[in-house]
């Protein structure tokens, strides 16, 4: 396997994919301008609709942007 010329830190899968509700990556993303979504996100899974177990965050694409009111439901298999 070729070595990277840059120092790299490899995160275990459990720490790298997704942002846990109170995970250590939430403050990092908040410093980068991301905002937490303080409501449940419903997602499709093979067994039916479930509540996303990971923290959902979003980033505004323009000044003054706000998350719209209403239920959040992803109509795909995200997990």
42, β-bridge pairs: 51, 73
Q: What is the pLDDT of residues 11-20, one digit of tens each?
A: 444 544 455 6
Q: Evaluate whether 17 touches 53 at the Cβ level (below 8 Å).
A: no
Q: What is the pLDDT of residues 61-71, one digit of tens each?
A: 989 999 999 99
Q: 72 phi and psi, to 5 degrees?
A: -110, 120
Written as one string, the DSSP assignment of 20-63 is: -TT-THHHHHHHTT-EE--S-EEEEETTEEEE-SSPPEE--SST
Closest CA to 42 of 18, 70, 74, 78: 74
Q: What is the pLDDT of residues 9-49, one digit of tens each?
A: 444 445 444 556 567 788 888 888 989 888 999 988 888 99
**Model pTM score:** 0.62
């Amino acid at each position: 396997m070729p070595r990277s010329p840059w120092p790299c830190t490899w995160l275990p899968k459990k720490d790298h994919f997704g942002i846990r509700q109170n995970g250590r990556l939430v403050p990092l993303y908040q410093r980068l301008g991301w905002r937490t979504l303080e409501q449940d996100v419903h997602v499709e899974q093979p067994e039916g609709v479930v509540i996303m177990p990971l923290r959902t965050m979003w980033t505004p694409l323009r000044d003054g942007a706000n998350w719209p009111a209403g239920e959040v439901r992803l109509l795909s298999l995200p997990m």
